[in-house]
Amino acid sequence: MTPRIGVVADGIALSTLTITVVDSTGTPMPGQIVEIASDGTNNTSVQPPTATDAAGQAIATIASTTAELKVISITVNSAGTPVVLTTQPTVEFIGD
């Protein structure tokens, strides 16, 4: 994951999250559906529009109108056998 810190909480500024899905040997997993969720309030998340690419990557975004630290949870393959990733990155939204 590559979230940003210090994102202005104006509902417009975005943090772009690049999620890389790999198997237990570190091999990228293409074709996986990824969903993100966040804690906190007044968040707008945009889910990855497509499954993971050949490099196992999917891109999502989050914006907020509340200045606070957001914890991001990631679920892979939610329609099949869902896997909730243990890594939970954070995004810091600040006042403008």
pLDDT in tens, 58-79: 999 999 999 999 999 999 997 7
**Per-residue confidence at 82, pLDDT binned at 50, 70, 90?**
very high
Half-sphere exposure of 74 (CA within 13 A, CB side): 25
Mean pLDDT of 16-37: 94
Q: What is the pLDDT of residue 79?
A: 74
Helix (H, G, I), strand (E, B) or coil at 22: strand
Q: Which residue has the higher pLDDT, 3 or 10?
A: 10
When pLDDT is averaged across residues 30-37 and rounded to a whole number, the result is 96
H helix and E strand count, the chain: 0, 8
> What tokens does 17 get?
């999250």
As a whole number, the mean pLDDT across the chain is 92
Q: Which residues, 6+ apart, have CB-to-CB distance to 72 below 8 Å?
A: 1, 3, 17, 36, 37, 38, 62, 88, 89, 90, 91
Q: Tell me, what's the pLDDT at 3?
A: 59
pTM: 0.88
CB-based contact 75:20 (threshold 8 Å): no
- Rounded Cα gap, residues 60 and 12, in angstroms: 15
What confidence score (pLDDT) does residue 96 get?
81
